Chains A and B, each alone.
Chain A
Amino acid sequence: MTPLPAMFLTTRLVRMSAVDLAIIVIYFVLVLAIGFYLKRFATTGEDFFLAGREMTAWVAGLAFVSANLGSLELLGWAGNAYQYGIMAAHWYWIGAIPAMVFLGLVMMPFYYISKTHSVPGYLKLRYGSEASALSAITFAFMTILMSGVNMYAMAVVMQVVLGWNLHFSIIVSSLTVGVYVAAGGLFSAIFNEVLQFFLIWFGALLIPILGLIETGGWSGMVARIHQNFPGQDFTHMWGPMSSADKNPMGVYWIAIVFGLGAVQSMGYWTTDFLVVQRVLSAKDVRSAKLAPIIGSFFKMAVPLIVILPGLLGRAVLPWHLVPGNQAQPGQFKYDDVLPLMLARYCGPGLMGLGITALVAGFMAGMAGNVSAFATVWTYDLYRPYLRKDAADSHYVSMGRWCTMIGLFVSIGTAYLVQYNKSMMDYVQALFGFFIAPLFGTVLLGMLWKRVTRMAGFWGLLAGVASSVTIFLLMKFDERWVRVFALSPVAQPLAQAMWQAMWACITCVVVTTLVTLVTKPRPDQELVGLVYSLTERAREENVSWVHRPVVWGTLAIIALVILQIIFW
């Protein structure tokens, strides 16, 4: 096969052949064709913004887990696995599974029964316009910024890995995403997320298979890691966390259990509308409850294609990778581990499949951001505050326009980030500021009928403010790291967990205090929105195989078994 010289630069991690390029082009053609095919079905607001609420539990569940399985996620966590070892799998197991099961069994019925289009929509029903507007404005703003950051990050990865021109990557990928999301709305986004799910698995699964063959299985890999990096423990999850200075992340187990498992992941998986929107597309309540639980089993398996390649990189790569900010010319970064492993085992054809999986992941991430942005803008900002009583077709048209406008703003953000790299860290941090306190606000609203309108607003605001304050204090004065993260050696990942925990606690405390001094809403206004006032669907007549609680319990049992195996 002849390498294609035309549009590519010479510095790149991998080389592609004609068949690799053909595989990528076929993917672009197919997603555009699917977008145009689905346009005819996205005629009403419910079709465009919620995919007609007719997805099966499997489709909604795969889209739910895929919306989080972007390429930045894959590259970043493979890099984290190389850096921190198997401890990085906490973000896939305790940092995801309990939250997904909780979403399915406890929270999803309220989102679904209230017939809301979005998480800010639920806040409006439960608390009123103050908390909802704060949530909607922040979410819309952050989503579009995140989309731009992702777009820039994708272009950089494509430049480093494949040698592609930065502008070429940004323009081609964003226009493709814009066309297919504006055409088919959430239908298109979900179809492509399911496609991406299969591409990622088939594109990346060969790496652990061939890697384990090369090392002689798990024990052979562990032996090689010990040989290459003597005295360091990269293959145990909980053992090294009895003290913060015994593990490369600088974290206590308490931060993983409470900061990550109880707050950060709960906040992300249950209140980030980007992922929740996929489940809202389910065809009935039982499917909506099952979807995140189905997703949890796939999420549990993702370390096989993300964490294991990072560990295998420690075992087989002939170089020692370095942190991104310390890489000199000719050195490889932690985040390069996945492309390096891909290049190690995948020849022409398989390389194209792997690269297409990465491109698909980036594009699905962008599509997720803009489809969620379009929904929140149209239903939670435009309709209540700018034009209340327009026809349904008007809102669909607005959704299409703001999909394209959102993408153009994202492109602008991508170029802004190019000239101000530190902005990238801030934008990613900004998103985190909101998620943890939002979880406190939504959960208290669902479980405690006494919580009042102003308590929801002030609790959320106080949580966000405390999160920002703690972040800035730890960033600009390292002495605060010891105070908030309980250890001076806490790394950014550990700091983020503690920040989330304090923000959620602040939100809960302020919400409770304001509730106690303000007047609650009458019970009849809260039916369908609060646990104690909502009749829950009984499942006596449903066979055990179809009961969400059975599968949720199995997911938790599987999670516990994995913790014991890799203790």
Chain B
Amino acid sequence: MTEKHHIIPVWFFVGLLLLIYGVLILITGLTEWSNPPADVQLTNLHASVWWGALLLVLGALYSYMFRPRNST
């Protein structure tokens, strides 16, 4: 993203945030698999699990692709 300054690309921070959130949401979804919150609709779809997994995969991908590298 930057030419004059060697700044870590914003996409890395996006990936980092999605990765952390993905892990937290996926774990929460798995722990509630058999005991979902009563006041939420469509809990049978386990949205936390697949949405958390999606965030985790995208986050890992972005974090890896745009990871800080030493400039030569």
> Which residues in A have some Cβ–Cβ distance to B below 8 Å?
1, 19, 22-23, 26-27, 30, 34, 37-38, 41, 47, 52, 54-56, 59, 187, 190-191, 194-195, 198-199, 202, 206, 210, 213-214, 283, 343-350, 352-353
Contacts and interface: CB of A to CB of B under 8 A. Distances in A.
A349 B28 contact: yes
14 contacts: A41-B7, A54-B1, A54-B3, A59-B10, A194-B14, A198-B14, A198-B17, A202-B55, A214-B41, A214-B42, A344-B41, A348-B32, A348-B37, A349-B29
B19 to A, nearest CB: 11
A37 B18 CA distance: 19
A349 B24 contact: yes
Interface in B39-72: 39-43, 45, 47-48, 51-52, 55
Contacts of B47: 206, 210, 345-347, 350
Contacts of B24: 19, 22-23, 349, 352
A195 B4 contact: no
B34 interface: no
Interface of B: 1-5, 7-8, 10, 13-14, 16-18, 20-21, 24-25, 28-29, 32, 36-37, 39-43, 45, 47-48, 51-52, 55
B10 A195 contact: yes
B30 to A, nearest CB: 10
Nearest to A184: B7
Nearest to A350: B48
Interface centre among B10, B17, B47 (most CB of A within 10 A): B10
Contacts of B39: 343
A55 B4 CA distance: 10
Nearest to A209: B47
A22 B23 CA distance: 12
Contacts of B43: 347
Nearest to B7: A41
A356 B11 CA distance: 18
Given A54-B3, A345-B40, A348-B37, 15 more contacts: A41-B7, A59-B10, A191-B13, A195-B10, A198-B17, A206-B51, A210-B45, A343-B39, A345-B42, A345-B47, A347-B36, A347-B37, A347-B48, A350-B25, A353-B21
Given A41-B7, A202-B55, A210-B47, A195 B2 contact: no
Contacts of A195: 10, 13-14, 17
B14 A350 contact: no
A422 B50 CA distance: 45
Contacts of A348: 28, 32, 37, 48
B40 A346 contact: yes
A30 B16 contact: yes
Contacts of A213: 42, 45
Nearest to A203: B21
Contact of A38 (B7, B28, B42): B7
A202 B40 contact: no
Q: Which 10 A-B pairs have the closest CB atoms?
A: A349-B28, A349-B25, A347-B37, A347-B40, A41-B5, A194-B10, A191-B10, A19-B28, A198-B14, A54-B2
B4 A349 contact: no
Contacts of B48: 347-350
Given A347-B37, A349-B25, A187 B42 contact: no
B8 to A, nearest CB: 7
Nearest to A190: B10
Nearest to B15: A198
Nearest to B40: A347
Nearest to A351: B40
A190 B2 CA distance: 13
A209 to B, nearest CB: 8
Nearest to A194: B10
A556 to B, nearest CB: 28
A436 B3 CA distance: 37
A30 B13 contact: yes
Contacts of B3: 54, 283
A38 B7 CA distance: 8
A346 B47 CA distance: 8
A345 B21 CA distance: 18
B28 A52 contact: no
Contacts of A30: 13, 16-17
Nearest to B42: A210
A268 B25 CA distance: 38
Contacts of B20: 26
Contacts of A343: 39-40
B16 to A, nearest CB: 7
A52 B2 contact: yes
Contacts of A23: 21, 24
A55 B14 contact: no
Nearest to A283: B3
B18 to A, nearest CB: 7
B12 to A, nearest CB: 10
Contacts of B7: 38, 41, 187
Given A52-B4, A353-B25, A347 B32 contact: yes
Contact of A27 (B17, B36, B37, B41): B17
A52 B4 CA distance: 8
B1 to A, nearest CB: 5
A206 B8 CA distance: 30
A461 to B, nearest CB: 40
Contacts of B17: 26-27, 30, 195, 198-199
Nearest to B11: A194
Contact of A350 (B4, B5, B18, B51): B51
Contacts of B18: 198, 202
